[in-house]
Amino acid sequence: MGPMKSVDEHLADVLAGVHPLQPLEMQLLDAEGCVLAEEVMAPWDVPRHTVAQSDGYAVRSVDVDSAAEESPVQLPVVGDVEAGAAPTITVQPGMSARLAEGAVLPEGADTVVPTSWTDGGVSGVTVRRAPLPGSGLRRAGSDVRRGQVVLDSGTRLRPAQLGILAAIGRPRVLVRPRPRVVVISTGEGLVEPGKEPSAGEITEANTYALTAAAKQAGGLAFRVGIVPHDTRRVLDTIEDQLIRADLVVVCGGNTGERDVVPQVLRRLGAAGLAEVAMEPGHLQGYGTIGPESTPVFSLPADPVAAYVGFEVFVRPVIRRMLGAGSLHRPVLGAIAQRTIHSYPGRREFVRGVLDVADGHYVVRPADEGEPHLLGGLAQANCFIVVPEDTDQVASGDPVAVMVLERRLG
Amino acid sequence: MGPMKSVDEHLADVLAGVHPLQPLEMQLLDAEGCVLAEEVMAPWDVPRHTVAQSDGYAVRSVDVDSAAEESPVQLPVVGDVEAGAAPTITVQPGMSARLAEGAVLPEGADTVVPTSWTDGGVSGVTVRRAPLPGSGLRRAGSDVRRGQVVLDSGTRLRPAQLGILAAIGRPRVLVRPRPRVVVISTGEGLVEPGKEPSAGEITEANTYALTAAAKQAGGLAFRVGIVPHDTRRVLDTIEDQLIRADLVVVCGGNTGERDVVPQVLRRLGAAGLAEVAMEPGHLQGYGTIGPESTPVFSLPADPVAAYVGFEVFVRPVIRRMLGAGSLHRPVLGAIAQRTIHSYPGRREFVRGVLDVADGHYVVRPADEGEPHLLGGLAQANCFIVVPEDTDQVASGDPVAVMVLERRLG
């Protein structure tokens, strides 16, 4: 198993072999939340043509530059231009055309007089104010110019980015796909929820929590569920799943090198258990397996330890595969509201409740009891990170907090 | 249309008719992100039985209370108990049984001696330290007791909550479903992305941005896309969609009461246009239509105004239907880094870039130019909210900011 590693060393080893996934061309709405893998330029001006900013009359500005309330200018109206239609008319000197909001400015005209400055006439119009030459228009290219870079490679596609891609006419974009994450559990006496556990059996919960967590991290997560704690069955299942997996997460069956999962992973590739100076979950399996060197994690069976292992090691791998700019959960400073005892020599991740009091972040352990209680995990919105060289955080001391939930309180 | 309303008045009117959706029973992973609509109690103890905390030997503590390095105690081993199996043996006085981690404590025993305190014997064991009576065990119900409330109604189901539901044996839970949001666009000369717009045509972008935004808000969003700007076609489309919609969002076609969408909505139910003292997007349509009084929004055609209308009015409705505790985007105080001019008498939502500098939130407009530019929307991570009674925010002034993106920088 080798000497004990620090959390940072193990994380660096894990990330060293992980790269962003190969880009794929996707339909816009399928690409939501993905990271752009191309620089996107506008293929034409937006707006494509110069259009009326409001309902009004297209004119040559010189024809109305003397218009005033006491000396209105009258012009014949040669026709109408609707929004969405190509203008078929030309505005000759001394003439005008009636335009709907968004209608294309016809040839000859250079200005749109808003309807409210006129009598709204149909065959002829009375203009009561002189517009500035060139006013009343949204000019071609005034929003986005042809050839302009509208989004850089590496941009995450949120609603506004999808809007601009559509607006410049892009139906598909090149993005890094969501990693396909397969989640498996193995161990003795595991049963599915819905079955009352008989003596010695326990209900399998890790695949539910971690499938949801993988999805939340940006992956496409597949819950395979319980696999019997047997080398052949686990080997066959993982081999089958390698066809669709960008990442495999196995919970349980890694209590030591001779346990089922480390044996299977050694047969499938370069993978093994590491003893990591952390609590909970000091046995962490990682490697790359199969023909495509697919990353695989072997996490502890204990639900809290499995969840910590996911947050600390698996989530950054999913984020790197996505091409995300930031791999890690945000870390804040907070004031401890209780004394927290910790294992010396190990980085301890204590489930915490982060809150704001008197303008400061404050944090308390989510449960005061032992570290394996599920109940505390469901109340937590953060992990309190107690460093290796600290065995006690006193109430009132500053402490680092890894934020799991963005909303507090 | 009635007198001009404030943003707060319109929002109150909109929310007055909206209720959380009727709860549905769902499979655990389908319920991810939903809000629980029942109080969940544990149907049995977790762990179900008292089990060994580590590999070791089940004993009666009185039999080993004198054990010490210099005076070890020897006991016969009457059998093994594996994890996941019901024990078939009883530990009689003066006897022991070998237990795997997680194995059920057999009858008669009260304590587990860790293997590391013994010689690890198979037919007999030498115990070198006296355990505390009752130690080495995870007791039945020590994590969750039978009948204990593990999650309250109203809890949002994140990964840890799904984990605890699985752990207590629940395969399904009662939650508020995600609202089904149908997104439609209408207007003259709209074309799909991928088609080069000819004179007067523009590429439809609103349904892409708002379908993604509705999904991000927690809805199940369906993009219907472009409907011709015609009363009959819009009416038929909305009537068809009412079958599957909990909420309908229509962009465009609402430039006044006589435009297509207000006409259609009046025919389908109690809906109309309101003039709201805001910028951009002062024409906001809202009502309830069809046999089930389905809420419907009629948003402006302008992409920036449509997006602001979605964030300010539609998103809180989706959140209320979900049963979410907080309906609104978080609002922070920040220092303006530029002078911002605003319409007096209207609440203006200026696309902004929020950042942290010298420990303070600072904000600047995402684009310095006109309010309808899409480019600025794609750069923005917030709206700067300039109140009705303010026509200018000076550089250095405090200003309220509605946060759209949780990650800054």
| H or E stretch covering A303 | helix A303-309
Could you tell me the sign of the dihedral formed by the alpha carbons of A20, A319, A294, A8, in that order? Answer: positive
Q: What are phi and psi of B154, to 5 degrees?
A: 100, -10
Q: Which tens digits make up the pLDDT trace of B282-317?
A: 999 999 999 999 999 999 998 999 999 999 999 999
| CATH 2.40.340.10 domain extents, chain B | 331-403
Q: Is the pLDDT of residue A312 over 70?
A: yes
Query: What fold does the segment set B7-21+178-322 form as a domain?
Result: Molybdenum Cofactor Biosythetic Enzyme; Chain A (3.40.980)
Q: Is the pLDDT of residue B408 over 60?
A: no
Q: Which two tokens stand for residue B317?
A: 């409705």
Q: Is the pLDDT of residue B38 over 90?
A: yes
Report pLDDT for A325. Answer: 87
C-alpha neighbours within 13 Å on the C-beta side of residue A290: 18
Considering only residues B403 and B1, tell me which one the structure prediction assigns the higher pLDDT.
B403
Assign B255 a pLDDT band (cuts: 50, 70, 90). Answer: confident
Question: Could you give the CA distance from residue B255 to residue A138 in angstroms, rounded to a whole number?
Answer: 17
Binary contact (A372, B143; C-beta < 8 A): yes
Question: Could you give the CA distance from residue B249 to residue B244 in angstroms, rounded to a whole number?
Answer: 13
| CATH 3.90.105.10 domain extents, chain B | 33-44+146-176
Query: Would you give the DSSP letter of residue B115?
Result: G
* H helix runs in B175-314, sequence order: 206-216, 231-241, 260-268, 303-309
Residue type, B25: E
Q: Which tens digits make up the pLDDT trace of A377-403?
A: 778 899 999 999 999 999 999 999 999
B392-393 and B340-341 as β-strands: parallel, antiparallel, unpaired? antiparallel
Report pLDDT for B358. Answer: 85
Architecture of domain B33-44+146-176: Alpha-Beta Complex (3.90)
Nearest by Cα to A289 from A260, A319, A313, A261 = A261
Contact list, B305 vs chain A (CB under 8 Å): none
Assign B175 a pLDDT band (cuts: 50, 70, 90). Answer: very high
Binary contact (B375, A161; C-beta < 8 A): no
| CATH 3.90.105.10 domain extents, chain A | 24-43+151-176
Task: State how far residue B155 is from chain A, nearest Cα, in angstroms.
Answer: 10
Mean pLDDT across chain B: 93
What does each C-alpha distance from A141 to A40, A49, A160, B300 come to in angstroms?
16, 8, 19, 21
Assign A2 a pLDDT band (cuts: 50, 70, 90). Answer: confident
Question: Could you give the CA distance from residue B289 to residue B295 in angstroms, rounded to a whole number?
Answer: 6
Say how many C-beta atoms besides its own lie within 10 A of residue B356's C-beta.
11
Rounded to the nearest angstrom, the gap between the alpha carbon of residue A143 and the centroid of all alpha carbons in its chain is 26
| CATH 2.170.190.11 domain extents, chain A | 51-138
Report pLDDT for B377. Answer: 77
Q: Is the pLDDT of residue B409 over 50?
A: no
Bridge partner residues of A186 (DSSP)? A227
Rounded to the nearest angstrom, the gap between the alpha carbon of residue A220 and the centroid of all alpha carbons in its chain is 12
Report pLDDT for A359. Answer: 82
Lowest mean pLDDT among A209-223, A253-267, B235-249: A253-267
| CATH 3.40.980.10 domain extents, chain A | 7-21+178-322
Report pLDDT for B371. Answer: 52
Report pLDDT for A122. Answer: 94
Binary contact (B166, A28; C-beta < 8 A): no
Report pLDDT for A370. Answer: 54
The residue of chain A nearest to residue B228, with distances taken between CA atoms, is A84
Question: Could you give the CA distance from residue A101 to residue A82 in angstroms, rounded to a whole number?
Answer: 8
High-pLDDT (> 70) share of chain A, %: 97
The residue of chain B nearest to residue A161, with distances taken between CA atoms, is B378
> Are A296 and A262 contacting, i.e. CB atoms less than 8 angstroms apart?
no
SS (H, E, C) A250-277: EECCCCCCCCHHHHHHHHHEEEEEEEEC
* Preferred mutation among B26, B27, B28, B151 to probe A, highest tally of A CBs within 10 A: B28
Report pLDDT for B195. Answer: 93
DSSP-derived secondary structure for A40-104: EE-SS-BSSS-EESSSEEEE-GGGGTT-BTTB-EEEEEEEEE-TTS----B--TT-EEEE-TTPB
Mean pLDDT of B105-122: 96
How does B217-231 read in b/e, with b if 16+ C-beta sit within 10 Å? bbbebbbbebbebee
Question: Could you give the CA distance from residue A64 to residue B246 in angstroms, rounded to a whole number?
Answer: 52
Q: What are phi and psi of A110, to 5 degrees?
A: -130, -5
Q: Is the pLDDT of residue A371 over 70?
A: no
Task: State how far residue B250 is from chain A, nearest Cα, in angstroms.
Answer: 15
Assign A409 a pLDDT band (cuts: 50, 70, 90). Answer: very low
Q: Which class is A331-403 in CATH?
A: mainly beta
CATH superfamily of A24-43+151-176: Molybdopterin biosynthesis moea protein, domain 2 (3.90.105.10)
Mean pLDDT across chain A: 93
* Preferred mutation among A90, A143, A144 to probe B, highest tally of B CBs within 10 A: A143
Architecture of domain A51-138: Beta Complex (2.170)
Mean pLDDT of B327-347: 92
Report pLDDT for A378. Answer: 78
Structure pTM?
0.92
Could you tell me the sign of the dihedral formed by the alpha carbons of A100, A103, A107, A111, in that order? Answer: positive
